Amino acid sequence: MRYSLEKIFSTDLNKALLATLIRYYPPIESNEALIDIVNVLMDGLSRGDVYIDMKKIPENLELKYKDWPSYHMKALLESGWTKGDNSPIVLNGDLISWRRTHNEIVETIQKILLRNQPINHLSKELPVRIEAKNLEHLNIQQIDAVNLVKSEQIILLSGGPGTGKTSTILQMLLEALTRNPTLSIAMAAPTGKAAKKLKDTIQAGIEDFDDPIKDKLSNIPSKTLHKWLEAGPNGFRRNSQRLLKLDLIVIDEMSMVDLSTINGLLDALTKSCQIILVGDPDQLLPIGSGGIWQILQEKETKTNFQSNSVKLTKSYRNKGDIALLRNILKDKGVDAFWQLLSKKEDSTNTLHYLSSIKSIPDPVVRTLVSYRKKLKELTENCINYIPDEAWQSSMIEVDQSVEIQKLFKFIDNLLILCPQRYGPWGVKKIHEFLLGKRFEKEVHKWGEATPIMAKSNQPEIGLANGDVGVIIGNGEKRRFLFNVFSEEQRLVTRLINPSRLNRYDAAYAMTIHKAQGSEADQVLLLWPTTSKVSEEKTSNKFYSDDYEKRMLYTAITRAKKQLMVITNKEEDF
C-alpha cells in the first residue's frame, strides 16, 4: 500500500523521514502503525532519548493506534525494518532505536574502551608534594577518584550538585602534576559558561597553594570543546590527522556532551592521553543525538568501567528546601516533587507561586522591571570607563574596571527559566513583553542594557554558543560587551561591533537546556503545566515522567540561594 502523508505526524520532518524510509527501505508488510513508530522515535530524539522502551506507553504523544505495544511491535517486525545490519531501526529486546544513532553510540563506547587501560607516566617529583593535610577535607569516594589518576587512563567521575566534583578535580590535577610536572593538561566543557565556571572554581581553590604548583594549576587552559577542536563550518580542524598534543584532559558537564563532539575529541587525542570525564547523570540529555554520559552510567555499560568509575554521593552544599526538593525529585519522582511543593509552606529560599497562564506572572514582571532598571544603571556607569578610541574598533579588549565587574556579576545573579521557547510562559512570550511583538525582527532596536546570548560558536572573537553579554551604548556607539577567555587564558572584556556576531538572542529569559552549566543566586522557574493531566486537551501528559524529571532537576539545581517555581492555576487547563 502507499502511505498518505496527510496522516497524523508530530512534525513535517517526521513526514519527510517516513517518505524516505518507504523509498529506500520498502516495507515487506506495510502498516500505518509504522507512523506511530516514527513519531515515537523522533519524539525521543527531541528529548535526547536514543532508546525507546516499547513496554512503556508514550505519555506525550497521541498515537494513531491505541493497542501499544503489541500491535506496533507486530507491524515493526513484519515491515522488515529491524532485519539485517543495514535496517533503519534496531530492536534489542523491548528497546528500539534508530540504527544510525545506535551505531554511533556503539562506536563511541568502543573508542572509550580501547583507551581503558593502565597508564605509566614517568614520575618527576616536584619540591611540593601532596601531603595528608591536602586530602583531609576529602571523603573516601573523592580520595578513590584521586588515586585513580595514578593508574587509569579513563576515569569516570559522577555526582550531583554540591558533592565536591570540582574539589576532587583539583586534587586529581594536583596528583597528576606532582607525579609528573611536565604534563600538558587541559580542561574543557560544552559551553563557555561551564568552561569559565570550571576555571574560576579551580582558581579559587588554589589561592592558598604555594609556587610552583600554584602557577602550574593556574595556567591550565579551560576552553569549550568546540574551541579545543577548532570547530568550523566543515567540521573539526583537530582530528586524527592533526592531534591535540595533550597528556591529560578533564571534560566537565559531560551530561551536555553530544555524540559527534565526544567522537571528534576521541579522534583528536593522542592514544596515551589520560581522560577524566565528569558530570551529573540526572541532568537533561543533549537534544537530538543522545547523551553518552547517561549511557556510560547505565548498569550494562558501567560494568566495563567498574574499576575506574567513582560516584560522589555526599552533599557538602546545604541549600535548605532547594536541596530537599531536589532529593525528593531524584529519589521519588515528579509526582512526589509536585505534592511536596504544593503542600509545603514558603521557606526562606523556596517559593511556590500560582498564576494565571494568560499573562506573565506578577513576580516575573516585578523582578524583570527591577532587574532591567538596575542593569541600565550599571551599564551606563561602565561607559565612563571605556576610552573614546575603543568605540572606533570592530572588536577591542577594554580594562576590567570595578564597574564592569559589577555589571557582569549582576547579570549572573538571575536566571528566568522556561521549559520551552514557544507557547505560554515561553522565552519568546517574556521577550515580547519586554521588547515588543516584533523583537525578533527588530534586533537593531533593542536598547542599551539588553542582555544578549550568542547562538553560535565564533572562536575568532572568543565567543561560544550560550555566552551572555550586554548591549552598551547607542547609535553609532552601539556595541556588545562580553567577558571571554583570551588565548592566554585570561578573562578579558571585549567590546564588539554587532556586525561581528553571526547569531544572537535576547537573554532576559532562557530555556532550561540553555541554562545548563550555569548557576545564579536567584532562579525563577515558569512551569506552565504540572504533571497533572489536562482532561480537556488530551489524555496524555505534556512531558514523559523521565523528561519532566530531568527538566525540573536541571532547573532547580541552577539556584544557589533562592528558587521560585511558578505554576498555572487549575482553572487554566
Q: Is 265 exposed, middle or buried (0-12, 13-18, 19+ CB in 10 A)?
A: buried
Candidates 198, 294, 110; CA nearest to 518 is 198
Bridge partners (DSSP) of residue 483 are 493
Q: How confident is the model at residue 543 (pLDDT cuts 50, 70, 90)?
A: low
Distance CA 67, CA 54 (A): 12
At residue 135, the pLDDT reads 67
Least confident range of 249-258, 276-285, 528-537: 528-537
Q: In this structure, what C-alpha cell is assigned to residue 389?
A: 578610541
| Structure confidence at residue 15 as a pLDDT band (50, 70, 90) | confident
| Res 10: pLDDT | 52
Q: At what angle do helices 427-435 and 362-383 cross, to 10 degrees?
A: 60
Residue 160 contacts residue 195 (beta carbons within 8 Å): no
Confidence of residue 569 (pLDDT cuts 50, 70, 90): confident
Strands 395-398 and 491-496 come out as: antiparallel
Q: Is the confidence at residue 301, as pLDDT, over 50?
A: yes
pLDDT digits (tens, 9 = 90+) for 183-207: 999 999 998 888 888 998 898 888 8
Whether residue 531 has pLDDT greater than 60: no
- Range of lowest pLDDT (146-155, 164-173, 195-204, 563-572): 563-572
* 79 pLDDT above the threshold of 50: yes
pLDDT score recorded for residue 366: 97
The pLDDT of 28-41, averaged and rounded, is: 89
The structure's pTM equals 0.86
At residue 344, φ and ψ (nearest 5 deg) are: -75, 150
Question: What distance in Å separates the CA atoms of residue 430 and residue 463, rounded to the nearest whole number?
Answer: 25
DSSP category for residue 573:
-
Residues 1/78, Cβ–Cβ less than 8 Å: no
pLDDT digits (tens, 9 = 90+) for 374-413: 999 999 999 989 999 999 999 999 999 999 999 999 999 9
Q: What angle do CA 299, 305, 311 make, to 5 degrees?
A: 75
Confidence (pLDDT) at 289: 66
Calculate the average pLDDT of the chain. Answer: 87
pLDDT digits (tens, 9 = 90+) for 207-228: 888 778 888 898 899 989 998 9
Separation of alpha carbons 87 and 81, rounded Å: 5
Give the DSSP H/E element, type plus range, for residue 521: strand 520-527
Beta bridge partners of 53: 95
Give the pLDDT confidence score for residue 131 in this predicted structure.
Answer: 45
Q: How far, rounded to the nearest angstrom, does the alpha carbon of residue 178 sit from its chain's CA centroid?
A: 32
Distance CA 318, CA 338 (A): 21
For a pLDDT cut of 90, what percent of the chain falls above it?
60
Per the structure block, which three cell numbers stand in for 281?
547523570
The residue with cell 532547594 is 322
Per residue in 493-527, pLDDT tens?
999 999 999 999 999 999 999 998 888 999 999 99
Q: CA 398 to CA 387: how far, in whole Å?
A: 8
The HSE-up count of residue 449 (CA atoms within 13 Å, CB side) is: 19
Which DSSP helix (H) or strand (E) runs through 375? helix 362-383
Q: Provide the CA 513 distance to its chain's centre, in angstroms.
A: 6
Complete domains list, the chain, with CATH: 12-100 (1.10.10), 116-312 (3.40.50.300), 321-390+399-441+506-568 (3.40.50.300)
Please tell me the distance from the alpha carbon of residue 174 to that of residue 170, in angstroms, as a whole number.
6
Contacts for 318 with CB less than 8 Å, ≥ 6 apart: 162
Distances (CA, A) of 190 to 203, 261, 552: 19, 9, 21
CA–CA separation, 501 vs 452, rounded Å?
11
485 band by pLDDT with thresholds 50, 70 and 90: confident
Q: How many CB atoms are closer than 10 A to CB 312? A: 23
Backbone angles phi, psi at 95, to 5 degrees: -95, 135
